[in-house]
Homo-oligomer: A and B are copies of this chain.
Amino acid sequence: MNVEITKLSNGLTVVTDPMPQLESAFVGVWVNAGGRNEVRADMGVAHMLEHMAFKGTERRSARVIAEEIEAVGGFLNAYTSREQTAFHARVLKADVPLALDILSDILIRPTFEQKELERERQVVLQEIGQARDTPDDLVFDHLQAAVYPDQPLGWPILGEEATVSAFSQDQLRGFMNTNYRAGSMVLVASGAVAHREIVALATDLFGDLKPGTAPAAPLAHYRGGDKRETGDLEQAHITFAFPGVSGTDPDYYAMQVYATALGGGMSSRLFQEARERRGLCYSIYAFAHSYNDGGLIGIYTGTGEGEAGEIPPVVAGEMALLAENATDREIARAKAQLRSGLLMGLERPSARAESIATQLYAYGRVLPVAEVTGLLEAVDTAAVRRVGARVMATASPSLAAIGPIGGLETHETFARRFGSATRRAAE
């Protein structure tokens, strides 16, 4: 990687990451604000704003935006997460200037017309409906609510019917004016790009971005809890979460290795025990999510009504065992998986750009690949056991579940499997 960074006078960070062998480029703007920057009445406004940016600017109608990018075979899209909102385009080399022009237009001059807002509100309400029909997504909203009750981090990114139905132009403009500040935004271009050219284009096109930085979101407080929704589904969709680490925590890589050894592949503890040995599920995996100021380690599985009761003891049992007897061999394997995932990601401009934006957000700098692989390599079995023991020691594990979940043990029973005193393995 040969990353170059320039800060424009308004504070916008411009990063290029050339991949000379490519004919296409991925360019995106990341705004360091998302769902957790909302107040309650604004729940979902970051996502609504992401939608409305495409619905017309002072220079282009919604239809013209779509037609211009697609006329050159480009793909324009966006997403909203809890800490960032990203707007990005994938185009052939010659069309990078057009892509940046459109991105700057929708980020600086959106009109948020009332008529378009009324229509797009209906689209987002349909999107909420679609999310409710996707139980393996919906259960993660429940998990987030269980972990962070009454905090923006615990709210659904799409918002709720009530808030989405009430959004006004002023709310959109207010959120944008507060958070879309050049000092809290980064433009990343990976692929067939050259730094000088991108900086020149960015200076020209993004000079009108308002300077300043977005205010910090309220701090995250892991509380832990339980949220269940009995429903008419084939499967019980069950998730667990425990306190994790932030992206800059010294144990960040140890936690990633722990999650991988626990449930990151076919050879992981949970896959082997729950799927291969017991046949309880088709999908089971562990994940480690990091925020600016904390994080989660968690597990998802989908299982049958008759099998659901077996899941909590199996999960808690495997977590306890891994903390006690993680082997050098399986930790080497988990590290190899993470390392090759990282190296393979370097072959895709979208993955590179996103990783650069995430690192700039978390660390304020782009980590050289060798530094990341070095940090990963430095994780040893003792470190994994240590973070595993720290996870097991929590007094407040979280559980969220949807579907035919009558057979699932109470939160109290589950919680007793954790905490320093009364750890239990599965029978």
Measured CB to CB, the residues of A under 8 A from B are: 21-24, 54, 62-63, 65-67, 69-76, 90-92, 118-130, 132-136, 232-235, 237, 265-267, 271-272, 275-283, 302-304, 307, 329, 332-333, 336-341, 343-344, 347-349, 403
> How far apart are the CA atoms of A54 and B302 in the complex, in Å?
21
Are the CB atoms of B22 and A237 closer together than 8 Å?
A: no
Residues of B within 8 A of A54 (CB): 266
Top 9 closest pairs, chain A to chain B, by CB: A73-B340, A122-B279, A66-B266, A73-B336, A129-B234, A66-B267, A127-B282, A132-B234, A119-B279
Are the CB atoms of A265 and B70 closer together than 8 Å?
A: yes
Are the CB atoms of A333 and B71 closer together than 8 Å?
A: yes
Question: What is the distance, in angstroms, from A85's C-beta to the closest C-beta of chain B?
Answer: 18
Are the CB atoms of A276 and B235 closer together than 8 Å?
A: no
Are the CB atoms of B333 and A302 closer together than 8 Å?
A: no
Known: A23-B347, A71-B329, A347-B349. 11 other contacts (CB 8 A): A23-B343, A24-B340, A66-B265, A66-B272, A70-B265, A71-B267, A73-B341, A122-B279, A129-B282, A130-B234, A132-B235
Copies per assembly: 2
Residues of B within 8 A of A272 (CB): 63, 66
Are the CB atoms of B123 and A72 closer together than 8 Å?
A: no
Are the CB atoms of B135 and A133 closer together than 8 Å?
A: yes
Q: When A133-B233, A281-B123 are in contact, do A344 and B90 touch as well, CB less than 8 Å?
A: yes
Q: When A266-B76, A272-B63 are in contact, do A280 and B126 touch as well, CB less than 8 Å?
A: yes
Residues of B within 8 A of A332 (CB): 71
Are the CB atoms of A67 and B130 closer together than 8 Å?
A: no
Question: What is the distance, in angstroms, from A312's C-beta to the closest C-beta of chain B?
Answer: 17
> How far apart are the CA atoms of A74 and B271 in the complex, in Å?
16
> How far apart are the CA atoms of A64 and B302 in the complex, in Å?
25
Q: When A73-B337, A266-B76, A333-B71 are in contact, do A343 and B279 touch as well, CB less than 8 Å?
A: no
Are the CB atoms of A279 and B133 closer together than 8 Å?
A: no
Residues of B within 8 A of A71 (CB): 267, 329, 332-333, 336
Are the CB atoms of B67 and A124 closer together than 8 Å?
A: no
Are the CB atoms of B123 and A282 closer together than 8 Å?
A: yes
Q: Which residue of chain B lies nearest to A131 when distances are taken between CB atoms in the complex?
A: B234
Residues of B within 8 A of A76 (CB): 266
Q: When A73-B337, A92-B343, A279-B123 are in contact, do A129 and B235 touch as well, CB less than 8 Å?
A: yes
Q: Per a CB cutoff under 8 Å, which of B74, B275, B339, B403 touches A123?
A: B275
Question: What is the distance, in angstroms, from A250's C-beta to the closest C-beta of chain B?
Answer: 24
Are the CB atoms of B235 and A267 closer together than 8 Å?
A: no
